[in-house]
């Protein structure tokens, strides 16, 4: 009888201990707001504050943690545009000579994030443009994107990101800090400002001189007809009838610290 009572007591004690362990584990677990982290990343760059701890956090997080944190396209777009723009500033401020060979610069794997080392091209074309082939003009997707890309890419392409990504050049859009709640309005405002700044329309010849982005990523914009509709939407041209497009040369002069509030 004493043996049975002792055994019962041990079972109850063990059960109590197991019940108490679960809440303790939950209390010590932490969840990172990666959108907020990306916003702080850019804010620190803008204010001249050190960003090494943020870069370490991004490098040491797991693919699963990042995927679970970015569940909507609004979150994905805001995070990845901020990350792209932040690392352009960080890397080129330290190594402006990298811009001498831009093809190598954008394709080089040099950004540590979620256990991988990725390139600017992978972030832009693989994640933000949903696995588009870099040389496909926006008409051809990659055949076999890897797991990192598949897990983290957006669900739907949005042409407005071309007026938000800052590649470090003078003709690039300025750097804004994007948030998931406001990103739709921010992208609209940023697109309007960029297109009005970079476009010229001759009402007599009906020729609109526009950024080369419309040519390089024509499929993203819906071709020439889509580009003209976009220009009409943002009041760059009065209508699309009879309008011809002329693509301007892109000014690749290095121009950092070009921030704007949207």
Q: How many other C-beta atoms are found inside a 10 Å radius of the C-beta of residue 58?
A: 22
The string of pLDDT tens digits covering residues 88-144 is 999 999 999 999 999 999 999 999 999 999 999 999 999 999 999 999 999 999 999
179 and 42 Cβ atoms separated by less than 8 Å: no
What is the pLDDT, as a whole number, of residue 88? 98
- Give residue 138's pLDDT: 95
Percent of the chain exceeding pLDDT 90 equals 88
Residue with tokens 């690039």: 172
Judged against a pLDDT cut of 70, whether residue 7 lies above it is answered with no
Average pLDDT, the chain: 90
> For the segment 20-51, what is each residue's pLDDT rounded down to a tens digit?
333 333 333 458 999 999 999 999 999 999 99
Which tops the pLDDT comparison, 192 or 13? 192
Strands 244-247 and 207-210: what pairing? parallel
Rg (CA), the chain: 24
Q: Nearest to residue 213, comparing CAs of 174, 249, 260, 239?
A: 249
The conformation of residue 141, written as its DSSP 8-state character, comes to: B
What 3-state DSSP class applies to 159? Answer: helix
Q: Which residue has the tokens 């809440």?
A: 23
pTM of the model: 0.88
Q: Which two tokens stand for residue 2?
A: 């004493």
pLDDT on residue 31: 84
């Amino acid at each position: 009888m004493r043996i049975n009572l002792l055994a019962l007591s041990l079972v109850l004690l063990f059960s109590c201990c197991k019940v108490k362990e679960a809440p303790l584990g939950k209390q010590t677990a932490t969840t990172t707001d990666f959108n907020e982290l990306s916003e702080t990343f850019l804010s620190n760059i803008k204010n001249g504050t050190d960003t090494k701890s943020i870069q370490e956090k991004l490098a040491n997080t797991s693919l699963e943690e990042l995927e679970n944190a970015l569940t909507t396209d609004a979150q994905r777009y805001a995070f990845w545009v901020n990350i792209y723009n932040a690392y352009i500033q960080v890397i080129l401020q330290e190594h402006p000579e990298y811009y001498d060979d831009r093809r190598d610069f954008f394709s080089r794997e040099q950004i540590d994030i979620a256990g991988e080392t990725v390139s600017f091209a992978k972030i832009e074309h693989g994640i933000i443009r949903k696995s588009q082939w870099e040389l496909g003009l926006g008409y051809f997707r990659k055949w076999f994107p890897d797991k990192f890309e598949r897990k983290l890419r957006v669900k739907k392409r949005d042409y407005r990101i071309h007026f938000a990504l800052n590649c470090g050049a003078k003709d690039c859009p300025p750097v804004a800090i994007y948030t998931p709640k406001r990103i739709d309005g921010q992208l609209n405002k940023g697109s309007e400002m960029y297109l009005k700044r970079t476009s010229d329309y001759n009402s007599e010849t009906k020729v609109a001189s526009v950024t080369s982005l419309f040519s390089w990523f024509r499929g993203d914009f819906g071709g020439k007809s889509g580009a003209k509709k976009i220009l009409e939407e943002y009041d760059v041209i009065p209508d699309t009838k009879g309008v011809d497009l002329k693509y301007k040369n892109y000014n690749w002069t290095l121009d950092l610290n070009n921030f704007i509030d949207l």
